[in-house]
Amino acid sequence: MNRHSKVHVNGRTYSWPNSPVVVLCIDGSEPGYIEAAADAGVAPFFSKVLSECTNRLAESVIPSFTNPNNLSIVTGTPPSVHGICGNFFLDPESGKEVMMNEPRFLRAPTIFEAFQRAGAAIVTITAKDKLRRLLGHGLKIGERGICFSSELADRATLIENGIADVPEMVGLDVPDVYSAALSRFVLAAGVKIMQSRRPELMYLSTTDYIQHKHAIGAPAANDFYKMLDSYLGQLDTMGCTIVATADHGMNPKHDDTSAPNVIYLQTLLDEWLGAGVARVILPITDPYIVHHGALGSYATIYLSKISNATNLSKRLSAIDGMELVLDRQSAAERFELPPDRLGDFILVSKKHHTIGTSLDRHDLSALTEPLRSHGGISEQRVPLIMNRKTNLAQGLTLRNFDAFDLALNHAI
Ligand SMILES: [Zn+2]
């Protein structure tokens, strides 16, 4: 096999790994969750990594949502390069709101595709199926290219996913999509496959079901990190270089009475401008909205006509709970986003506020706990830890999409 010593992709260069590299994206892992589990004495692997190995903070991309950040991590680039800047956007060609989880929206190859071409075996496992096809884009599915979700693990086939009979191999039933067990399945499958195949690169991505419901240090949160810890400990024993990071953080978004803090932006704009002039798109919207009711801290507005943009921007900025209002170009520059997939304005709400459309369009009946969510600058800080020491200087601003760079180029 022609194994290159270096792999080049998206303007970055990665060294060939001496031992398997596992990057884990812990969905919604606000800094403090890992530490709380370590302090509670239930996470010996994390404890060791935090105190003896690499323990850094990094910045996620904005919007601090799942898909943009997962795609940044697996391409090593910001959304301005890979093109995925939310779950939803308004397709300028059709004028319709469309999901951005189709591989045709991806504008850059993944690190996996480049390494596979250089001879590496690749395994990617996600909790929710919405990410699977994006992460697997460009990958040759087969013995050396495995890609499946725990959500649809029982439907995995050799042709579509490179692996079959997954629940039997893992020894677990396919869990409910709204459960901590969905993430456990990802880790359990990762360990089994590492034991049998030892791929060069493995990417594991969980769901933030627990983090949406439980604060840092809560018993259910500590149990979740204890579970992650036990599987990571096994991968560590197998000699893997492990980097764990997150796609975004998570914060409480409710008031003292536990009612969600929501800016109903479509309602406001209809009052100000008349119906039909402004269209609010919430890129957090996806088919799995039970735990956040499609409420996050980021929104974009499309205007059918712009009469007085400066005045509108001022009015939007003055809304109680609003952190930042930017026009398309400024947002694209500041957050490294693809301008052609943004509305006329980008809005970010404050730490404890969310942005919605109108009251009747959010089903909050399934929110059994006070709202916790993400999307804003307040959820940009995430952990970036590794079970090796690093030669990266202290004080550098790291991004979560430096995860593979850290594991492949800077582990010592
Ligand atoms: Zn997420």
Average pLDDT of the chain to the nearest whole number:
94
Rounded to two decimals, the pTM is 0.96
Q: Quick one: tokens of 49?
A: 């990594």
Q: How far from 198 is each of 47, 66, 146, 243, 340, CA to CA, in Å?
A: 25, 27, 12, 16, 41
CA of residue 285 to ligand 1 center, whole Å? 12
Cα–Cα dist 271/369, whole Å: 31
- Summarize pLDDT for 21-63 with one digit per residue, the tens: 999 999 999 999 999 999 999 999 999 999 999 999 999 999 9
CA-based end-to-end distance of the chain: 26
Cα–Cα dist 245/59, whole Å: 10
Enumerate the β-bridge partners of residue 390.
Answer: 411
- Summarize pLDDT for 274-303 with one digit per residue, the tens: 999 999 999 887 655 555 678 999 999 999
* Residues 155 and 123: beta-carbon distance below 8 Å: no
Q: Quick one: tokens of 275?
A: 């119906």
* Residues 64 and 376: beta-carbon distance below 8 Å: yes
Q: Evaluate if residue 78 carries a pLDDT over 70.
A: yes
CA of residue 386 to ligand 1 center, whole Å? 20
Dihedrals φ, ψ of 402, to 5°? Answer: -90, 5
CA of residue 355 to ligand 1 center, whole Å? 17
CA of residue 206 to ligand 1 center, whole Å? 8
CA of residue 275 to ligand 1 center, whole Å? 33
CA of residue 314 to ligand 1 center, whole Å? 31
Task: Place 2 in a pLDDT band, splitting at 50, 70 and 90.
Answer: very low
Dihedrals φ, ψ of 24, to 5°? Answer: -110, 125
CA of residue 251 to ligand 1 center, whole Å? 12
pLDDT of residue 218: 97
CA of residue 64 to ligand 1 center, whole Å? 8
CA of residue 208 to ligand 1 center, whole Å? 6
CA of residue 66 to ligand 1 center, whole Å? 4
Q: What is the pLDDT averaged over residues 232-257?
A: 97
CA of residue 339 to ligand 1 center, whole Å? 22
Name the residue with higher pLDDT: 102 or 159: 159
CA of residue 161 to ligand 1 center, whole Å? 23
pLDDT of residue 1: 42
- Summarize pLDDT for 162-199 with one digit per residue, the tens: 999 999 999 999 988 888 999 999 999 999 999 999 99
Spatial neighbors of 143 by CB under 8 A, at least 6 apart, are 121, 162
pLDDT of residue 291: 58
Q: Evaluate if residue 111 carries a pLDDT over 90.
A: yes
- Summarize pLDDT for 363-411 with one digit per residue, the tens: 777 777 889 999 999 999 999 999 999 999 988 999 999 999 999 999 9
Cα–Cα dist 255/253, whole Å: 7
Residue found by looking up tokens 């947002």 in the block: 331
Residue found by looking up tokens 């100000």 in the block: 272
Q: Evaluate if residue 90 carries a pLDDT over 90.
A: no
Q: What is the pLDDT averaged over residues 244-253?
A: 97
Q: Evaluate if residue 3 carries a pLDDT over 70.
A: no
pLDDT of residue 366: 72
CA of residue 260 to ligand 1 center, whole Å? 19
Q: Quick one: tokens of 347?
A: 């809005």
Name the residue with higher pLDDT: 212 or 101: 212
Cβ atoms < 10 Å from Cβ of 338: 18
